[in-house]
Structure 1
């Protein structure tokens, strides 16, 4: 069950919409300028900032790149101060219904710490592609817990199954694909440079 603000959107979605608008204003960009930089339409950006539309993983990835933030860092900025102990019921969960992607911030970014842990779940057949990393050289470790993951990094496709771990520094585009027949669930550790 998700917490809502009374308008039917979750508190995370409402906070995310507000933060996206704040980031644009902090940089002194118009919607047109952000559209030019992100490749998203002005109307989509406006609807995202008003909370009328929930961003897809791809859209959020583009905005994170433009604003030079990891997705976890952006979602952290939506919350107050994260606790040291993060109970399962308080971990931020974000869903991209369009792509079949669910992202749980198991160990969110925290001041003074460089690593974070994310649980990702992709439905069978789902694909998530990111044009560029939000921070070049970002260290990532992906441990597949269930299913199969095809991950493209630096134009090389890696196939990982249960128990396999892929580690790398992300400097260019990446693509996550769950070939099926079942969903894939993985743990992603991100270490800031």
Structure 2
């Protein structure tokens, strides 16, 4: 298994800086668009801070992309095959949320990500992280509570949910064991 731990902060920071600069935005501009402080954006870009899933989702949303797309740009090389041993793994330093990027970086509009959500973990995602995409959540093992705006969805193994219109969301594991689920993202929706 390829685990991105040693240089993930630097790679993600460089990708965020490249995205910001390609748009001609200042640090302050990105901070305003994302709701993340300028100081934190600066630390993340320099690889001095391990960003949480929530923070990455806010930054990705400001760029009009999903967290998965942002991380894929930082993690992957082009190709049609991504072997399990080369699939990048990222761990949220705050919650222990583990994310494995399964799909290759190719021309395909689909991204497939596998998530391990620890017991009692809660990951908020802003609506901006879901703009211009269609997403499905497929629970592989365990139980997942997905709160979409004001609607609560309780999902068990085998259940699949298509996300509705973009709204602030929360992924919650209210159980005492890890929940494993897949997120399928259609970037061309």
Q: TM-score, normalised by structure 2?
A: 0.90
SS at match of 2:127: coil
Q: Does 1:77 align with 2:73?
A: yes
Tell me, in whole angstroms, the C-alpha distance in 2 between the residues paired with 1:175 and 1:40. 18
Tell me, in whole angstroms, the C-alpha distance in 2 between the residues paired with 1:82 and 1:11. 19
* Counterpart position of 1:174: 169
Q: For CA contacts below 8 A with separation 6 or more, give which structure has more relative contact order.
A: 2
Gaps of 5+ in 2: none
User: Per-residue deviation at 1:133?
Assistant: 3.6
Cα contact 2:126–2:167 (8 A) shared by 1: yes
* Counterpart position of 1:134: 129
Size of the aligned set, in residue pairs, is: 188
Q: Does 1:114 align with 2:109?
A: yes
1:6-155 equivalences under 5 Å are 10-79=6-75, 81-111=77-107, 113-155=108-150
Q: Which moved more, 1:11-20 or 1:173-182?
A: 11-20
Cα contact 1:144–1:165 (8 A) shared by 2: yes
Cα contact 1:139–1:191 (8 A) shared by 2: yes
SS at match of 2:56: helix
**RMSD between aligned residues:** 2.0
SS at match of 2:21: helix
SS at match of 2:170: strand
User: Per-residue deviation at 1:3?
Assistant: 6.6
SS at match of 1:166: strand
Cα contact 1:109–1:115 (8 A) shared by 2: no
Q: Which moved more, 1:174-183 or 1:36-45?
A: 36-45
1:165 pairs with 155, 160, 167, which one?
A: 160
User: Per-residue deviation at 1:158?
Assistant: 0.4
Deviations 1:6-50 (A, max 9, x none): xxx623332111111122222222222222221111211111011
SS at match of 2:129: coil
